[in-house]
Structure formats: structure tokens, C-alpha cells
Amino acid sequence: MNNTTARRRRLALIGSTAAAAMLALTACGGDNSGDSGADGELTPVEVGVIPIGDVASIYVGQQEGIFEEHGIDLTLTQAQGGVAIVPRVQSGDLDFGCSNVTSLVMARSQGLPVQIVATGPQTTGSPDEDFAAVMVDPDSGIESITDLEGQTLAVNTLNNIFDSVISSGLEDEGGDADQVEFVEMAFPDMVAQLEAGNVDAISAVDPFAVMGDEAGLERIYGPFSEPVEDLSIGGYFTNEQMLAEDPELVENFTAAMKESQQYAEDNPDVVREVITEYTESDPEIIEQTALPRFPQEHHRESLQQIIGISVDTGLIDEPVELDELIVEGA
């Protein structure tokens, strides 16, 4: 029996009177901070994450004991990408997950009842000092995003956030995104594949973008900072069943994430140290990386723009309702 199954079976034993009392306390503004249940036990929670700098705040929160203070015994499970995490959260195999906003918009448009309960990383807003970049060989003749027409560009996942925002940015500059050949490639492989001549450009995130800097590559575009202002790149989410069955746990998780986000925002040195541990990256590389911003609230306007871009680029047929995607207060 996994932790999720055990927890949900315990929930089935909780009487309606106790549940009503908890909801009443919440409605009256009761503070759930540090509440680990009447028996003092922590609730096991498993969260799916991608091993990149974007998710540093949740690792920081785990290290600093923030989740324990909110009654949560946190387990972090790494996956290749948000596309793989979404179905595991939907099935209940994971309690929560972190994914980029485009993956969540697409999931919602396909009828999957996922909802964002806490925000994740946000762009720095500076194309020259952000943690994501389109990079090329300086001798390639590619100097701007419109020069990508007729070229191959590596993205970590096809039909997702990178190729959609890059396509949107290219169209904004008067280019034709249909003339770019996007190819799927894992972040750790991108610099070597570009140097080998197998692709013409890469869309990398730190620390891999810094590795590209070290290899002499040139940054020509900031995909997370130029087409959408103040882009909220990712969010922590769960499914509607979890929201209905255990609202107290969701509330505690959200509160812990907000505290973790603020702690990460206030302590960049701690963030860099933690990133070196879960990504097994060279500390000297991490020292040079641009850290994302770690806000406590999701930037709803930017998500609305991502929904529009997803429609314009054909990722979804119809816009999804923002209030159905984001839980109030996330």
C-alpha cells in the first residue's frame, strides 16, 4: 500500500462531525500552521518535480522544515517533464505536482480536472539576465529570433511552453513560426548537440544555459521574459478529487509553498546550494545561474496570455476558464 492509499483510507475513517469542525475553523480564519493532526503525526505527501532550478523553493522548504511545520511529511519524486507529472497527479499516484503553465492549460482543455493551488517560478523579466535563453553558435549567422526561420531549434518537449512562446515571439517580430523546425531534446544534451551541428539553436534553462555560456554560445532571445511580461512559468497543482476530499491538506500544502517561495526569494545563497544538491551540478556553474523570482501569488494576467498563445498556436481549441484553472488565493 503506498502512502497516498494509506492516507486516503485513514481519511475515510474521519467522521463527518470532525470534518465539519475543521471546515468551521478554516472558515473562521483558524491558523493551520504546524497542525499535524490530533495524534501529532505528519501526513505523507508525494510531489512530482523536474530536476531544474525552477523547483528550488520546494526543496528549500523541505530542507528548512517548513512543510513539517504545516503537518506534512514531504517526498519529492523527480520526473523528466511536466507532461509526465500531470497524468500521475490525475490518477492519484502523486498527491501534487509541479508543471509549466502550458502543460496545465492543455490538460485542463482536455477535460482533466487539474487545478493550480500554489504558484511556482516567475521570470526575472530581463532577457539578458533570465534563467532561460535561446542560444546559438556565434558563427551561425543567427542574430535574432526571426533568423530562426529555416533552422532547427531544440526544445525539451514538443508542443509545449517553449515552442509556443517562441512561436508567439517570432510572429510578434513579423516572422513565420511555421518555418522553424522544432526538435525534442533533453536539456542536458542540448549544448553538446548544438556543438556537434545536429541542431542550429537550443532553448535552454539554467544551469544548462550557463553551460552554454561557458561553451561560448550566444544568447539571442529570452523566451520567458520577452513575449509575456512577468510570466509565471509554472505552478503546483493537484486534482479536484484531492481538493474535495482533503481541503485541509491542500490548504496546508499551499501555505507551506507560499512560505517556501518567500524563503527562497529572501535567501538566494540557500537556493543555489540546494540546487547543486538535487541537480548534482557544479557549484561554480550554479553560482553564475540567474535565479527565477519566487512570488507567493500567481500572476494571473500572464497565465491569461499563455491561454491565448495556446489557442493561437493550435495547442488548444478553445480558451480555458482562468477561475477553473487556479484555486482562489493561489
Q: What is the reported pTM?
A: 0.83
Task: Answer whether 126's CB lies under 8 Å from 138's CB.
Answer: no
Residue 315 or residue 2, greater confidence: 315
Task: Answer whether 108's CB lies under 8 Å from 311's CB.
Answer: no
- pLDDT of 79 > 90? The answer is no
Closest CA to 129 of 203, 64, 210: 210
DSSP tag of 211:
H
Share of the chain above pLDDT 70, in %: 88
Task: Answer whether 190's CB lies under 8 Å from 206's CB.
Answer: no
Q: Residue 166 and residue 168: Cα distance in Å, rounded?
A: 5
Query: Rounded to the nearest 10 degrees, how much is the dihedral formed by the CA atoms of 54, 293, 299, 296?
Result: 90
Residues 171-226: tens digit of each pLDDT? 999 999 999 999 999 888 999 999 999 999 999 998 899 999 999 999 999 999 99
At which residue does the C-alpha cell 497543482 appear? 237
* Buried/exposed 292-318: b ≥16 CB within 10 Å, e otherwise: bbbbbebbeebbebbbebbbebebbee
At which residue does the C-alpha cell 482543455 appear? 109
C-alpha cell read off for 303? 497565465
Residues 262-309: tens digit of each pLDDT? 999 999 999 999 999 998 888 998 999 899 999 999 999 999 999 999
Task: Answer whether 207's CB lies under 8 Å from 286's CB.
Answer: yes
DSSP string, 313-326: TTS-SSPPPHHHHB
Q: What is the mean pLDDT of the chain?
A: 87
Residues 105-148: tens digit of each pLDDT? 999 999 999 999 999 999 999 888 899 999 999 999 999 999 99
Beta strands 96-100; 181-184: pairing state: unpaired
Q: Residue 97 and residue 111: Cα distance in Å, rounded?
A: 18
Task: Answer whether 49's CB lies under 8 Å from 84's CB.
Answer: no
> Which residues are CB-contacts of 62 (< 8 A; sequence separation ≥ 6)?
74, 76
Q: Residue 190 and residue 204: Cα distance in Å, rounded?
A: 7
Task: Answer whether 116's CB lies under 8 Å from 327's CB.
Answer: yes
Instruction: Please give the pLDDT value at position 294.
Output: 97
Could you give all domains of the chain from N- to C-terminal order, each with its CATH number?
3-122+231-325 (3.40.190.10), 127-221 (3.40.190.10)
Q: Is 19 left (phi over 0), alpha (psi -120 to 50) or beta?
A: alpha
